[in-house]
C-alpha cells in the first residue's frame, strides 16, 4: 500500500533539526578525562524514550506503523525461542529498526536513550578512545578470565601464551575503530563483541541487559551452528553504584544484529520490568552476569541489587498449580524533555498522515462500494480506571456511562426501551429467547461474548486511560482472592488460569436443559415454557374471564399485581417451597404436560367444556390444560402442605396454592393428594 511509504522509518526523520540538536548536546555532555578515568556522560545517560500508544489508530494503520518502526524479524525470532515477552506479568518490549552497518550496538544504545542513531559515531569513537587511552588493565583481566571460562576454550583445550593474549587484545581494540577500511563481511564497520558492551556500560554509567538466544541458528532451517554468549547482564563495575543510573538499557540480539527494546504506552497494566531469568524447558535460569571477578562472582546477588532496582514477581510454573518468585529489574519511563523528544514529533507526523490515509481509504472505499470502513475509536479522555460491570466485558467504564462502558450502556438502554414499549402497550410480541433482553430495568446488560468482539467496538479499547498511574509495585492483580498473578484485560480482571476455570463452570451451567426453551409473557413479563396468544396460562385465563364478564355485564377485578400476588414471589423461594412439599412424602408430582404435535391435535377432539376453542387431551380427561385445572378445582380436590412454614407463607391456603401451581416458571407441579376418608373443599 502506498500508505506505508508516507510513514518515516526512524524517529529522527520526523524532525531533523531536533536530531542535530540532540547530537550537539551529546557531544557537549561527554566528559573527556586525562587522568586515566574512562570517558563518560554527565547527565544525558539518564534519558529513556517511550513509544506512544498505537491502539488509537485502526488496525490496518497500526500494521503500517509497526511495519515502519518495529523489527518484525527480531521480534518473531526471539518470541518463538521464548527469549522475549515470555513472562506475562511484565510489559511487552518491542524492537525498533536499527541500521545494520556494523555499528548496530551503538545505534541501538543511542536510540534507547535519545531516539537517534549513532550516525556521527560519537559513541563508537568514545569506545575506541576508552580502549586506547584509558587504563584498560582491569578490562583486560576481566576479558581474559571470561575467555578462559568460555565453552570454546573448555571444549577445544586451547592454551594461550602471553603473546597470544596481547595479539587478541589488540585485535579487540582495532575492531572498535571508526575506520571503514578494515571492515569485512560487507559491513561498513567491524562488528563488536561482549567486551565492547561491557566497556560501553561503563562509559554510559548504566547497566545493559541483552536479550538473546543461546545458540546461533540458521536463518532458513533454524538449526544450531554454535553457542552464543552475548545475552545477559553487563554492569558498570568500574563505577560505584551511587555514581550510576540504576535503570538498565535493554537491547535485543538476533542474527548478529542489535536492536533497542522499548515499551509501548498501550501495552497494558503489567509491571514495568524485565525478568533477570530465562525460561528453559520449564525451568528458570538466572541471566549470566558478564565479566565478574572471582570475588564478585560470590556476591553476584548483592551486585545486582546495588546496580539495578530488583523486585520479585510471581509467575506460573511449568507444572499446573505451581508458582515461582523470580527477580526482575525495574525499567525507566519516558523522561526526555520536550525540546529533545523526537517521539512527540513522530507522533504528530503520524497523526497528520493518518488523517490523509483515512481520507484516501474512504475515497477508495466509495469507488469500490465498500460498506465497512474502519473508523477511529472513541476518545479515552472520559475513561475511569475501573472495568465495566458487565461479565466478561473487556472495556472500561466512563464518567458518563458508569458503571458500564459505552457499548454495554447503549445495549442496556435499547433493551429497556423495547421492554417498556411492550409493557405499556400490551402488544403481543414474538417468541424470544430469555437471554435476548434484561429481565428487569435494573439488571445488568448481557455478558460480553466473543461474538460481540468480532466486530469493531464502538466503546473504548481495553486499555487503561492513564497507564502511567500504575507503578511497578501496584500493578493490577487478578481479582480472584489469593491469586498472585497479573490480570489480563481480555479476561474481565482475571488471570488466564482463573478465567479458564470460570469458563469451564459457565459452560457446564449453560448445558443445563432446565435453562433452555423459555419465552416471556407479554402481559406479566414472566418467563414460561408455553404461551397462549403470547401470554402465560394465568394471564390468558384472566383475560378470557375478563372478556366473558364484560359480555355478561359484570364488573371484573382489574389485573393488578400486588405484593400478595404469588407471581411476585422470588423464584428461589418458590423452588424451596416445592422442594419442601415434595420431600414430605405426602404429595406426588404431576407428570409434565408436553406440547402436542400439530397432527396429534388435529386428530384430537374439542375440549369438553362448552365454548372452549382449544383441543382436549386424553391425559387431561378430554379437557384442555386450562379447563382441566378448573375441572380439578370444581371437583373439590385440595392441597395439603407438608409443613407449617410453607403454609404460613401464603395468605390463603387453597386459592394461593392454586395460583402458585399455575406459575409458568415450573414445569413440574405438585399433584393434589386425594383423601379417601374425607374431602377438602378448595
Tell me which residue has cell 461479565.
Answer: 391
Query: What are 505's strand-pairing partners?
Result: none
Residue from 40, 71, 87, 104 carrying the catalytic annotation: 104
* Burial class of residue 561 (count of CB atoms within 10 Å of its CB; 0-12, 13-18, 19+): exposed
Fill in the DSSP letter of residue 641. -
Q: Which helix (H) or strand (E) element contains residue 208?
A: strand 208-212
Active site residue 104: yes
CA distance 104 to 257: 6
CA distance 189 to 33: 26
CA distance 178 to 176: 7
CA distance 496 to 334: 29
CB atoms inside a 10 Å sphere around CB 319? 7
247 in helix, strand or coil? Answer: coil
> For the residues of 482-540, what is the DSSP string, one character each?
T--SBP-GGGTT--HHHHHHHHHHHHHHHT-GGGSS-EE-TTT--EES--BTTB-HHHH
Residue from 101, 306, 545, 565 carrying the catalytic annotation: 101
Cell reading at 52: 506512544
CA distances from 611 to 304, 537, 627, 629, 662 (A): 93, 18, 11, 16, 22
> For the residues of 313-331, what is the DSSP string, one character each?
EEEE-SSTT-EEEEEEEE-
Cell reading at 672: 393434589
Peptide bond into 677 cis (omega under 30): no
288 in helix, strand or coil? Answer: coil
Nearest to 332 by CA among 246, 241, 211: 246
Helices first, then strands: H and E counts in the chain: 20, 20
Tell me which residue has cell 552475548.
Answer: 230
Peptide bond into 403 cis (omega under 30): yes
Residue from 257, 332, 478, 539 carrying the catalytic annotation: 257
Active site residue 257: yes
Asked if 70 and 97 count as a contact pair (C-beta separation under 8 A), the reply is yes
Nearest to 126 by CA among 43, 196, 183: 196
Fill in the DSSP letter of residue 164. H
Catalytic residues: 101, 104, 257
Amino acid at each position: 500500500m502506498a500508505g506505508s511509504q508516507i510513514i518515516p522509518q526512524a524517529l529522527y526523520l520526523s524532525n531533523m533539526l531536533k536530531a542535530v540538536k540532540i547530537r550537539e548536546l551529546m557531544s557537549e555532555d561527554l566528559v573527556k578525562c586525562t587522568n586515566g578515568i574512562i570517558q563518560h556522560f554527565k547527565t544525558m545517560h539518564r534519558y529513556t524514550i517511550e513509544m506512544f500508544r498505537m491502539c488509537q489508530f485502526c488496525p490496518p494503520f497500526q500494521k503500517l506503523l509497526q511495519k515502519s518502526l518495529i523489527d518484525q524479524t527480531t521480534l518473531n525470532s526471539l518470541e518463538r525461542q521464548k527469549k522475549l515477552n515470555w513472562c506475562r506479568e511484565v510489559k511487552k518490549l518491542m524492537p525498533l529498526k536499527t541500521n545494520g552497518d556494523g555499528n548496530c550496538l551503538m545505534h541501538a544504545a543511542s536510540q534507547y536513550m535519545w531516539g537517534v542513531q549513532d550516525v556521527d559515531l560519537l559513541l563508537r569513537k568514545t569506545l575506541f578512545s576508552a580502549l586506547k587511552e584509558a587504563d584498560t588493565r582491569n578490562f583486560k583481566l576481566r576479558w581474559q578470565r571470561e575467555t578462559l571460562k568460555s565453552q570454546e576454550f573448555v571444549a577445544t583445550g586451547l592454551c594461550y601464551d602471553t603473546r597470544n593474549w596481547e595479539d587478541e587484545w589488540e585485535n579487540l581494540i582495532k575492531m572498535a575503530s571508526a575506520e571503514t577500511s578494515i571492515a569485512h563481511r560487507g559491513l561498513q564497520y567491524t562488528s563488536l563483541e561482549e567486551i565492547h558492551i561491557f566497556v560501553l556500560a561503563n562509559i554510559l554509567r548504566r547497566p545493559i541487559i541483552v536479550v538473546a538466544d543461546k545458540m546461533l541458528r540458521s536463518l532458513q532451517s533454524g538449526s544450531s551452528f554454535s553457542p552464543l554468549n552475548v545475552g545477559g547482564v553487563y554492569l558498570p563495575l568500574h563505577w560505584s553504584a551511587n555514581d550510576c543510573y540504576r535503570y538498565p538499557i535493554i537491547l535485543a540480539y538476533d542474527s548478529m544484529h542489535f536492536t533497542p527494546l522499548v515499551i509501548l504506552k498501550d501495552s497494558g497494566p503489567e509491571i514495568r520490568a524485565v525478568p533477570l531469568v530465562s525460561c528453559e524447558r520449564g525451568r528458570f535460569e538466572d541471566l549470566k552476569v558478564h565479566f565478574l571477578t572471582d570475588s564478585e562472582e560470590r556476591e553476584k546477588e548483592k551486585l545486582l541489587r546495588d546496580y539495578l532496582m530488583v523486585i520479585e514477581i510471581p509467575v506460573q510454573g511449568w507444572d499446573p498449580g505451581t508458582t515461582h518468585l523470580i527477580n526482575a529489574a525495574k525499567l525507566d519511563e519516558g523522561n526526555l524533555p520536550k525540546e529533545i523528544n523526537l517521539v512527540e514529533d513522530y507522533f504528530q507526523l503520524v497523526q497528520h498522515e493518518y488523517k490523509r490515509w483515512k481520507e484516501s481509504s474512504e475515497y477508495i472505499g466509495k469507488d469500490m462500494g465498500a460498506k465497512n470502513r474502519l473508523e477511529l475509536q472513541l476518545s479515552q479522555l472520559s475513561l475511569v480506571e475501573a472495568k465495566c460491570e458487565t461479565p466478561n466485558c473487556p472495556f472500561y467504564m466512563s464518567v458518563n456511562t458508569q458503571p458500564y462502558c459505552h457499548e454495554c450502556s447503549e445495549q442496556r438502554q435499547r433493551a429497556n426501551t423495547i421492554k417498556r414499549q411492550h409493557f405499556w402497550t400490551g402488544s403481543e410480541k414474538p417468541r424470544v429467547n430469555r437471554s435476548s433482553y434484561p429481565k428487569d430495568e435494573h439488571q445488568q446488560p448481557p455478558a460480553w461474548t466473543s461474538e460481540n468482539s468480532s466486530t469493531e467496538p464502538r466503546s473504548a479499547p481495553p486499555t487503561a486511560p492513564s497507564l502511567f498511574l500504575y507503578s511497578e509495585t501496584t500493578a493490577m492483580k487478578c481479582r480472584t482472592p489469593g491469586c498472585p498473578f497479573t490480570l489480563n484485560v481480555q479476561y474481565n480482571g482475571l488471570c488466564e488460569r482463573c478465567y479458564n476455570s470460570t469458563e469451564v463452570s459457565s459452560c457446564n451451567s449453560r448445558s443445563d436443559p432446565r435453562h433452555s426453551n423459555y419465552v416471556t409473557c407479554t402481559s406479566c413479563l414472566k418467563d414460561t415454557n408455553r404461551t397462549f396468544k403470547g401470554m402465560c396460562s394465568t394471564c390468558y385465563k384472566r383475560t378470557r374471564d375478563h372478556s366473558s364478564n364484560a359480555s355478561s355485564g359484570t364488573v371484573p377485578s382489574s389485573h393488578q399485581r400486588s405484593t400478595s400476588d404469588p407471581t411476585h414471589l422470588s423464584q428461589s423461594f418458590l423452588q424451596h417451597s416445592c422442594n419442601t412439599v415434595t420431600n414430605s412424602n405426602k404429595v406426588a408430582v404431576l407428570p409434565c404436560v408436553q406440547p402436542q404435535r400439530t397432527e396429534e391435535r388435529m386428530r384430537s377432539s374439542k375440549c369438553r367444556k362448552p365454548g372452549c376453542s382449544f383441543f382436549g387431551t386424553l391425559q387431561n380427561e378430554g379437557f384442555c390444560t386450562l379447563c382441566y385445572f378448573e375441572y380439578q378445582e370444581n371437583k373439590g380436590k385440595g392441597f395439603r402442605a407438608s409443613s407449617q412454614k410453607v403454609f404460613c407463607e401464603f395468605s390463603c391456603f387453597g386459592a394461593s396454592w392454586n395460583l402458585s401451581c399455575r406459575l409458568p416458571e415450573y414445569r413440574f407441579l405438585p399433584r393434589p393428594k386425594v383423601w379417601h376418608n374425607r374431602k377438602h373443599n378448595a
